[in-house]
Amino acid sequence: MTRPPLPPFTRDTAIQKVRMAENGWNSRDADIVTPAYTDDSQWRNRAEFLSGHTDIHAFLTRKWRKELDYRLIKELWAFADNRIAVRYAYEWHDDSGQWFRSYGNENWEFAEDGRMSHRHASLNDLPITEDQRLFHWPIGQRPEDHPGLSELGL
> Which pLDDT score, from 0 to 100, does residue 69 have?
98
Where exactly are the structural domains of the chain? Answer: 11-132
Residue 1: per-residue pLDDT = 84
- For residue 123, the cross-strand partners are 104
| Residue 108, pLDDT above cutoff 90 | yes
Query: What number does CATH give the domain 11-132?
Result: 3.10.450.50
Q: 133: closest CA among 103, 101, 102, 98?
A: 101
pLDDT confidence tier of residue 110, bands split at 50, 70 and 90: very high
Determine the pLDDT at residue 47.
Answer: 92
d(CA 78, CA 107): 9
Which of 103, 104, 105, 107 has the alpha carbon at shortest distance from 120?
107
